[in-house]
Amino acid sequence: MSLSIIIPALDEAEYITATLDRLQPLRRRGVEVIVVDGGSSDNTATLAAERADKVISSPRGRALQLNAGAAAARGEILCFLHADSGLPEGADGLIIGGLSGSRRSWGRFDVSIAGTHPMLRVIAQMMNWRSRLTGIATGDQGLFMTRSLFEAAGRFPEIALMEDIALTRQLKRYGAPLCIAHRMTTSGRRWEKHGVWRTILLMWWLRLAYFLGAAPDRLAQQYVRNKS
Protein backbone atom coordinates (compact mmCIF):
# COMPACT_ATOMS: atom_id res chain seq x y z
CA MET A 1 0.00 0.00 0.00
CA SER A 2 1.22 3.51 -0.77
CA LEU A 3 1.64 6.16 1.92
CA SER A 4 1.32 9.95 1.77
CA ILE A 5 2.39 12.22 4.62
CA ILE A 6 0.56 15.54 4.82
CA ILE A 7 1.98 18.48 6.79
CA PRO A 8 -0.04 21.69 7.34
CA ALA A 9 2.20 24.71 7.85
CA LEU A 10 1.89 28.39 8.67
CA ASP A 11 5.04 30.44 9.35
CA GLU A 12 7.02 27.33 10.25
CA ALA A 13 10.39 28.25 8.72
CA GLU A 14 12.09 27.55 12.07
CA TYR A 15 10.94 23.92 12.13
CA ILE A 16 9.95 22.78 8.63
CA THR A 17 13.48 22.02 7.40
CA ALA A 18 14.28 19.64 10.25
CA THR A 19 10.88 17.98 9.98
CA LEU A 20 11.28 17.35 6.26
CA ASP A 21 14.92 16.28 6.53
CA ARG A 22 13.83 13.45 8.83
CA LEU A 23 11.40 12.28 6.15
CA GLN A 24 13.95 11.98 3.34
CA PRO A 25 14.67 8.25 3.96
CA LEU A 26 10.93 7.60 3.63
CA ARG A 27 10.77 9.60 0.40
CA ARG A 28 13.58 7.48 -1.02
CA ARG A 29 11.42 4.43 -0.30
CA GLY A 30 8.50 5.92 -2.24
CA VAL A 31 6.55 7.76 0.46
CA GLU A 32 4.93 10.96 -0.80
CA VAL A 33 5.40 14.09 1.33
CA ILE A 34 3.04 17.04 0.87
CA VAL A 35 3.27 20.39 2.64
CA VAL A 36 0.15 22.55 2.68
CA ASP A 37 0.97 26.19 3.28
CA GLY A 38 -1.76 28.37 4.75
CA GLY A 39 -0.35 31.71 3.61
CA SER A 40 2.96 31.95 5.46
CA SER A 41 4.63 35.35 5.70
CA ASP A 42 8.08 33.75 6.04
CA ASN A 43 9.91 31.40 3.67
CA THR A 44 8.21 28.19 4.81
CA ALA A 45 7.00 27.32 1.31
CA THR A 46 10.42 27.95 -0.26
CA LEU A 47 12.21 25.75 2.25
CA ALA A 48 9.60 23.02 1.88
CA ALA A 49 9.77 23.02 -1.92
CA GLU A 50 13.35 21.73 -1.75
CA ARG A 51 12.42 18.78 0.47
CA ALA A 52 8.82 17.74 -0.32
CA ASP A 53 7.14 16.12 -3.31
CA LYS A 54 4.46 18.78 -3.39
CA VAL A 55 3.91 22.16 -1.77
CA ILE A 56 0.37 23.43 -2.23
CA SER A 57 -1.48 26.48 -0.99
CA SER A 58 -4.72 26.47 0.96
CA PRO A 59 -6.83 28.95 2.90
CA ARG A 60 -5.58 29.27 6.46
CA GLY A 61 -7.00 26.80 8.96
CA ARG A 62 -5.66 23.42 10.00
CA ALA A 63 -8.71 21.41 8.92
CA LEU A 64 -8.86 23.21 5.57
CA GLN A 65 -5.16 22.58 4.98
CA LEU A 66 -5.32 18.93 6.01
CA ASN A 67 -8.26 18.24 3.71
CA ALA A 68 -6.55 20.05 0.84
CA GLY A 69 -3.45 17.92 1.32
CA ALA A 70 -5.49 14.73 1.39
CA ALA A 71 -7.22 15.72 -1.85
CA ALA A 72 -3.83 16.24 -3.53
CA ALA A 73 -2.28 13.02 -2.18
CA ARG A 74 -1.93 9.82 -4.19
CA GLY A 75 -1.43 7.42 -1.27
CA GLU A 76 -3.84 4.71 -0.18
CA ILE A 77 -2.84 5.54 3.41
CA LEU A 78 -2.76 9.12 4.70
CA CYS A 79 -0.61 10.25 7.62
CA PHE A 80 -1.11 13.74 9.06
CA LEU A 81 1.94 15.27 10.72
CA HIS A 82 2.49 18.59 12.49
CA ALA A 83 5.23 20.83 11.09
CA ASP A 84 7.21 20.66 14.37
CA SER A 85 7.01 16.88 14.81
CA GLY A 86 9.11 13.89 13.77
CA LEU A 87 8.04 10.33 13.07
CA PRO A 88 10.08 7.41 14.45
CA GLU A 89 12.60 5.64 12.25
CA GLY A 90 10.92 3.23 9.86
CA ALA A 91 7.53 4.88 10.32
CA ASP A 92 6.40 3.84 6.85
CA GLY A 93 6.86 0.17 7.66
CA LEU A 94 5.27 0.59 11.08
CA ILE A 95 2.18 2.19 9.57
CA ILE A 96 1.71 -0.03 6.51
CA GLY A 97 2.70 -3.25 8.23
CA GLY A 98 0.78 -2.35 11.37
CA LEU A 99 -2.48 -1.70 9.57
CA SER A 100 -2.11 -4.79 7.40
CA GLY A 101 -1.16 -7.07 10.27
CA SER A 102 -3.81 -5.81 12.67
CA ARG A 103 -6.56 -5.51 10.04
CA ARG A 104 -7.31 -2.06 11.40
CA SER A 105 -7.90 1.02 9.29
CA TRP A 106 -6.48 3.85 11.38
CA GLY A 107 -4.14 4.60 14.22
CA ARG A 108 -1.56 6.84 15.83
CA PHE A 109 1.85 6.76 17.54
CA ASP A 110 2.85 7.18 21.14
CA VAL A 111 4.50 10.54 21.61
CA SER A 112 7.46 12.15 23.35
CA ILE A 113 7.61 15.92 23.85
CA ALA A 114 10.92 17.65 23.18
CA GLY A 115 11.90 20.33 25.68
CA THR A 116 13.69 21.01 28.94
CA HIS A 117 10.82 21.16 31.43
CA PRO A 118 10.58 17.92 33.47
CA MET A 119 6.78 17.95 33.27
CA LEU A 120 6.86 17.42 29.51
CA ARG A 121 7.71 13.78 30.04
CA VAL A 122 4.71 13.39 32.33
CA ILE A 123 2.43 15.18 29.88
CA ALA A 124 3.50 12.86 27.06
CA GLN A 125 2.85 9.77 29.17
CA MET A 126 -0.59 11.09 30.13
CA MET A 127 -1.39 11.74 26.45
CA ASN A 128 -0.42 8.17 25.56
CA TRP A 129 -2.42 6.63 28.40
CA ARG A 130 -5.46 8.79 27.72
CA SER A 131 -5.41 7.86 24.05
CA ARG A 132 -5.16 4.14 24.76
CA LEU A 133 -8.00 4.37 27.27
CA THR A 134 -10.42 6.47 25.21
CA GLY A 135 -9.45 5.66 21.62
CA ILE A 136 -9.27 9.40 20.97
CA ALA A 137 -6.08 10.80 19.43
CA THR A 138 -4.74 14.26 18.65
CA GLY A 139 -2.71 15.67 15.79
CA ASP A 140 0.42 15.57 17.97
CA GLN A 141 0.30 11.77 17.69
CA GLY A 142 0.70 11.46 13.91
CA LEU A 143 -2.77 10.30 12.93
CA PHE A 144 -2.88 7.87 10.01
CA MET A 145 -5.70 6.08 8.23
CA THR A 146 -6.70 4.52 4.96
CA ARG A 147 -8.01 6.96 2.39
CA SER A 148 -11.28 5.03 2.16
CA LEU A 149 -11.88 5.39 5.90
CA PHE A 150 -10.91 9.07 5.82
CA GLU A 151 -13.58 9.68 3.19
CA ALA A 152 -16.16 7.49 4.93
CA ALA A 153 -15.64 9.36 8.21
CA GLY A 154 -16.30 12.68 6.49
CA ARG A 155 -12.72 14.06 6.43
CA PHE A 156 -11.63 16.66 8.99
CA PRO A 157 -14.61 18.80 9.97
CA GLU A 158 -13.84 22.36 8.96
CA ILE A 159 -14.05 23.84 12.44
CA ALA A 160 -11.72 26.33 14.13
CA LEU A 161 -10.42 23.97 16.84
CA MET A 162 -10.64 20.31 17.88
CA GLU A 163 -10.77 19.02 14.30
CA ASP A 164 -8.50 16.11 15.23
CA ILE A 165 -10.63 15.04 18.18
CA ALA A 166 -13.81 15.40 16.12
CA LEU A 167 -12.42 13.19 13.38
CA THR A 168 -11.15 10.49 15.72
CA ARG A 169 -14.56 10.33 17.39
CA GLN A 170 -15.94 9.49 13.95
CA LEU A 171 -13.15 7.02 13.20
CA LYS A 172 -13.90 5.10 16.40
CA ARG A 173 -17.30 4.19 14.94
CA TYR A 174 -15.48 2.11 12.34
CA GLY A 175 -13.14 0.38 14.75
CA ALA A 176 -10.47 0.85 17.40
CA PRO A 177 -7.19 2.58 16.55
CA LEU A 178 -3.86 0.87 16.08
CA CYS A 179 -1.70 2.32 18.88
CA ILE A 180 1.95 2.08 17.84
CA ALA A 181 4.22 2.14 20.88
CA HIS A 182 7.21 3.48 18.92
CA ARG A 183 7.41 7.12 19.93
CA MET A 184 7.30 10.06 17.61
CA THR A 185 8.57 13.42 18.84
CA THR A 186 6.69 16.70 18.97
CA SER A 187 7.86 20.11 20.07
CA GLY A 188 7.18 21.33 23.60
CA ARG A 189 7.23 24.97 22.47
CA ARG A 190 3.63 25.81 23.33
CA TRP A 191 4.03 24.49 26.88
CA GLU A 192 7.36 26.17 27.48
CA LYS A 193 6.35 29.47 25.90
CA HIS A 194 3.03 29.91 27.67
CA GLY A 195 3.76 28.00 30.90
CA VAL A 196 3.39 24.27 31.41
CA TRP A 197 0.66 24.31 34.05
CA ARG A 198 -1.24 27.14 32.39
CA THR A 199 -1.24 25.24 29.08
CA ILE A 200 -2.28 21.96 30.71
CA LEU A 201 -5.23 23.60 32.45
CA LEU A 202 -6.22 25.49 29.30
CA MET A 203 -6.24 22.37 27.13
CA TRP A 204 -8.17 20.37 29.73
CA TRP A 205 -10.73 23.13 29.96
CA LEU A 206 -11.08 23.50 26.19
CA ARG A 207 -11.54 19.77 25.67
CA LEU A 208 -14.07 19.51 28.47
CA ALA A 209 -16.01 22.45 27.07
CA TYR A 210 -15.94 20.88 23.60
CA PHE A 211 -17.24 17.53 24.86
CA LEU A 212 -20.01 19.43 26.69
CA GLY A 213 -21.06 21.06 23.44
CA ALA A 214 -19.27 24.42 23.32
CA ALA A 215 -18.88 25.91 19.85
CA PRO A 216 -15.39 25.36 18.37
CA ASP A 217 -15.27 28.98 17.09
CA ARG A 218 -15.73 30.31 20.61
CA LEU A 219 -13.14 27.87 22.01
CA ALA A 220 -10.66 28.94 19.33
CA GLN A 221 -11.10 32.59 20.34
CA GLN A 222 -10.40 31.67 23.96
CA TYR A 223 -7.34 29.64 22.90
CA VAL A 224 -5.92 32.61 20.97
CA ARG A 225 -6.57 35.02 23.83
CA ASN A 226 -4.73 32.77 26.27
CA LYS A 227 -1.74 32.43 23.91
CA SER A 228 -1.30 36.20 23.56
DSSP conformation class of 105: S
167 backbone dihedrals φ, ψ, rounded to 5°: -65, -45
Work out the burial of residue 21: count CB atoms within 10 Å of its CB; fewer than 13 is exposed, 13-18 middle, 19 or more buried. exposed
Per-residue CA distances from 207 to 69, 92, 200, 204, 213 (Å) = 26, 30, 11, 5, 10
Q: What is the pLDDT of residue 27?
A: 98
In terms of CATH architecture, what is 3-194?
Answer: Alpha-Beta Complex (3.90)
Q: What is the pLDDT of residue 226?
A: 62
202 backbone dihedrals φ, ψ, rounded to 5°: -60, -50
Q: What is the pLDDT of residue 225?
A: 66
Q: What is the mean pLDDT of each successive set of 10 residues along the chain, which is 228 residues long?
A: 96 96 97 98 96 97 97 98 96 97 96 90 92 92 97 94 92 96 91 75 75 75 66
Asked if residue 26 lies in contact with residue 9, where contact means CB atoms within 8 angstroms, the answer is no
Q: What is the pLDDT of residue 228?
A: 55
Asked if residue 171 lies in contact with residue 149, where contact means CB atoms within 8 angstroms, the answer is yes
